[in-house]
Structure formats: C-alpha cells, structure tokens
Structure 1
C-alpha cells in the first residue's frame, strides 16, 4: 500500500498540462472503510496539501456528521479525487480534473482497498466515470435516485458554496438524502 501511495504522490503524467508543479493530494490506507471520490483538489488544498481543506470540506463533513479527526483518519476515510492535482482556475471556477489520473490509478487503488464499504461519488465527473450506463441523465437525478446505486455508491452534489442555489431549489436533498447518507456512513464505519 505504501508503494502505491508513493508512486501516486510522485506521479507526473499530466505535468505539462498543469499550471503548477504536480502535487497529488489524496489519502487512504489498507483499512479505509469509506472512499470519497471527488473532482480535484482546489487551490487551498494545493497550497496546504490537505484535501477538502476549505468551505466545501466543512460542508461535506457536516453532511457526513463527522469531525475533522474522523474525516482525516485514513483508516476510516480514503480520499481519492478524479484528478489528483489542482488543475488551475478557469472563468467560472476550477478547471475540470485532468483525465489521466482516474484511468491510470483508480483501478489499482480499488483493487488494493479491500475494506471499502461505501464509495461517495461527489460531483458529475465521479458519477459519469463510475456510474456509466447506470447513470441518469443529470446529476440531480443521480442524487435523487441514490438508492438505486446502494450499497456500492452514494452519489452526491458537490458541497461547494457555489451549489447553495442548487440546494435551495432541491430541499429534498437536506430533508431526505442527508439523513440517509449519515446512516450509511455510520453503518460503513462500524461494519
């Protein structure tokens, strides 16, 4: 496991396409119980080296009802984005995750992480990649039909402050999805 993590943290396959030197940001252990697959590290995560080290991370931890100590414990949570390095900023936020990371590293990671009980697919990039033909037409439909993907996957909207408008338009998310998410997280952590 340490060898795999070392190879990933030293990866440079997309170096020519990044605005900064490669700095893969992820966390996992051979006993991780829940795998969080998000988009790519943001600028704050790039600067600190800590994934989900921003307002999005605070909201995600609230959704999961876990303290930072639990969230950052790799024996409990593996954090593996679709793109491991900060992709840079575009006109309307961060650029999409680099497409090289997931096909290169995710199959090896999923083979190595044998104790995973639940995979959280955060955002459209993770959902498109993992749900494939099972995916509904939109992210909102994936999230509203989350039960269709259990027990393997739990699709979620990205917890970015930019998505607060989406949350206001979809009050069922806070009322129905979040309580079930917390139940599934507790179940995965204790099973």
Structure 2
C-alpha cells in the first residue's frame, strides 16, 4: 500500500473511530473518542483514557499530566500535537467516569475493537510509549507484576516499547522515590524523539 493510500485508509478509519458509540451506555459524559494519528508518525503514545478536561476539549493530554509528558519528551505543544510525527491512541478513547479512588479503568471494549485496525496503517512507528499498567498489560510479554518492576526492566523491550509511569501529578512521590526513571529512561526517549521526528530539542513546555 502506498503512503497516500495508507493515509486515506487511516483518515477513513479515524472518522469511523470518532463516531464510535459501542460503549455509550457506560459513559457518564457520553462518547467523545480522542485519538491522533497520521501514517507518517514515528512515535506512538498509548495511555490510559481521557480525563474530564481532555473530554471537554477533545485534545489528548491537554492537562497537567500532558504538561509533564511534554517536558519528558522535551517538546512544545505544537510539536506534540503534530500527528505527522506523533500518534496518540489510549487504551480507552473516551472518558470512562469516576470511581472511588479516581477515574475508572478504560472501557474494555475499546482497545480490542480499534487498536488492531489502526496499527497496520502506521508503518513508521519505531517507538511506542506505554503509559501506565493497562497499556503495559496489553502490549508487553513477560511483564513483571508491578509497574515499578516493569519500568525498571524497560531495556527488555526497548526501543519498540518503553513502559512508563503515568505523568500525573499524583505520581510525583513515585518519581522522587525512583529518580533513575528521569535520569535514564527519559533521556533515552528524548534521543529517539530528536533523532527520528525531525524536531528541534530544547522546546519542552
């Protein structure tokens, strides 16, 4: 398939995804699938599910977690939101609602329905950031039981997959207890970003 055909098929699929209502009855704010992709993208980010702010704006990672993620990647918002370079496809594409201790898990229908259809249309992805345990459980074979153990073993899957903690402000204590993540893993990711995405360094916001 030619690059133009890849992009045409991907655009058609993205239109279909954004009209998805398969778990509408379980979504307290209704469906609003959030996804970003182009066939030329070199980096994929697979997170958990949109929060309320992302649901309201329709912009992925448009919250304090996204601010930290962009600092980790050393990218400004314009670079981060350029689908020609970066694809963003969470495990659940819609806001799942609140539970007793935070947002509910991603809806289980979502990733099996859409991820296998999107991946063949993204032939240039060289690195996928797996943000949080739900993404890691789906994509990593031989994964340790805990998130900390999984992230510590990141070299087992690099560069294809990089397991990461969620950049939520709630994980600030984890980052303080595990300084090796920002000392070892973040520079490795940045090197890939700046070598393969054709973006200038030093633009993180």
TM-score with structure 1 setting the length? 0.96
1:146 is aligned to 154
Q: How far apart, CA to CA, are the structure 2 residues paired with 1:141 and 1:181?
A: 18
For 1:111-190, what aligned pairs fall within 5 Å after superposition? 111-131=120-140, 133-190=141-198
Q: 1:99 aligns with which of 84, 99, 108?
A: 108
**Residue-by-residue CA offset, 1:63-94 (whole Å, 9 max, x unaligned):** 01111111000001001000000001112111
**Residue-by-residue CA offset, 1:133-187 (whole Å, 9 max, x unaligned):** 3212211111111111012101100000000111111111122221112112223
Q: How far apart, CA to CA, are the structure 2 residues paired with 1:79 and 1:137?
A: 25
Specify whether residues 75 and 102 from structure 1 end up closer, same or farther in structure 2 by C-alpha distance, changes over 3 A only. same
Secondary structure of 1:134's counterpart equals: coil
1:118–1:188 Cα contact (<8 Å) kept: no
2:6 is aligned to none
Report the alpha carbon displacement of residue 122 of structure 1 after superposing the two structures with TM: 0.3
Q: Give aligned pairs, total.
A: 189
Q: Structure 2: any 5+ residue segments left out of the alignment? A: 1-9, 199-205
1:86 is aligned to 95
CA RMSD across the alignment? 1.0
Q: How far apart, CA to CA, are the structure 1 residues paired with 2:43 and 2:150?
A: 19
TM-score with structure 2 setting the length? 0.89
